[in-house]
Amino acid sequence: MARRVTIQDVADRAGVGKVTVSYVLNGKDEEARISPATAERIRAAAIELNYRPSAVGRMLARSQADAVAMVFQYGDYFGAQTAFISEVMRCVCKACVENQVDVVLHTKLASDPLTEANNFTDGRVDGVLMIRDAEDATYLELVARDFPTVLFFCRSDQPNAHYIACDNQRGGRMATEHLIHLGHTRIGMIRGGMGSVDSNDRLVGYQAALNTSGINFDPELVVEYHGADGHSEDFLALMQRPDRPTGLVVWSDDAAFECIRLCNGIGLNVPGDVSLIGFDSTHACERSNPPLTSIRQPIELICAEAVRLLLALRKSPVDATLCRQIFPPILDVRQSTGHPPKNSSTMRSSTK
């Protein structure tokens, strides 16, 4: 097994010190005033010897990795990787390509937040991009260690938090207003998990929209989505009420697809009988039957800003206005939303 060719080998071959090689191979021959002739000799030697620099040696010397970690909620690692996460990964990679840093997916999960944080602060990455709740213990630990960390698709009230998020309250409001503008007055919400900040935000927006339009908020029209299983009972109960909603703001696209399926199962047509609007506006929205109206987060923009912020953090303190950015969502109207049925005001009669 041949020994690895080191920078010293190149130096010997070119008849210079290894320092000089380092400067030349890093393109710093100008500022270090290496003569063109020497530089050329060094480059030739490197090629002859098939020299491949060791990134690890470089990382150690520079105390910088030129890489960032990308981490998601616990479940998303193993379980169903949603189209949303998939798109986020794509956009983060794209931003990292532009900034010439690599992406590391850490797999050494630990139950203990201290240990988990160690995985990130061990020098292999310069910072962490996280989709986690703002109260996540690992996140808090990283912040406490002053390690460059950016939360994205999530906001935080931590004093020195950095995050790039989407305005979920506004998203909830936009979705609800869309239904209201179409004439709906009885609007339900299929919400996400109770612990989810995103879901709570959207609920706030939903209530705000109702309020502005003078529609009473009815807590009975809000049902939690528990994933494709266990979801049906509550939902069916809601939709079989005599005064069932004619419009639904649904937690995610996937949840909305499930709702459509369940509605069809009990003879309700979308959007004829009930209008549905989802969140995320994934590609599947275009292919579903009917194509799903959905609220889209500007994923590419958010990822690009998050990466930019993270990389800025490694150097100096960052201008406060860049540390916390919230972008508005976008409404993609498709065919799952329409006017409420004509007899919707006399809906009660359908029970007989």
Which residues would be at the binding site for DNA (CB under 7 A)? 3-4, 6-8, 15-20, 22-23, 25-26, 32-35, 37-39, 51-54, 56-58, 60-63, 123
Phi, psi of 26 (to 5 degrees): -95, 10
- Under the rule (CB under 8 A), what is the footprint of its own copies? 52-57, 59-60, 65, 67, 77-78, 81, 83, 86-87, 89-90, 93-94, 96-97, 100-109, 118, 121-124, 257, 284, 287-289
For its own copies, the closer of residues 49 and 59 by Cβ is: 59
Task: State the nearest-atom distance from the C-beta of 121 to DNA, in Å.
Answer: 10
Q: Of 291, 268, 294, 275, which is closest to residue 338 (Cα–Cα)?
A: 275
Task: Please answer whether residues 132 and 139 qualify as being in contact, where contact means their C-beta atoms are separated by less than 8 angstroms.
Answer: yes
Q: Which does 44 bind (CB under 5 to 8 A by kind): DNA, its own copies, none?
A: none
| C-alpha 64, offset from chain centre | 25
For its own copies, the closer of residues 177 and 254 by Cβ is: 254
Please name the helix (run of DSSP H) or strand (run of DSSP E) that holds residue 275, with its range, or none: strand 275-279
Q: State the Cα torsion 162-163-169-172 to the nearest 10°.
A: -170
70 bridge partner residues: 129
Q: Which does 228 bind (CB under 5 to 8 A by kind): its own copies, DNA, none?
A: none
For its own copies, the closer of residues 112 and 220 by Cβ is: 112
Q: Which does 107 bind (CB under 5 to 8 A by kind): DNA, its own copies, none?
A: its own copies
Task: Please answer whether residues 55 and 44 qualify as being in contact, where contact means their C-beta atoms are separated by less than 8 angstroms.
Answer: no
Task: State the nearest-atom distance from the C-beta of 63 to its own copies, in Å.
Answer: 8
DSSP-derived letter for residue 341 is P
- Give the Cα separation of 304 and 322 in Å (integer): 12
Rounded alpha-carbon distances, angstroms, from residue 66 to 122, 152, 281 = 13, 20, 33
Q: Which does 103 bind (CB under 5 to 8 A by kind): its own copies, DNA, none?
A: its own copies
For DNA, the closer of residues 4 and 315 by Cβ is: 4
For its own copies, the closer of residues 141 and 198 by Cβ is: 141
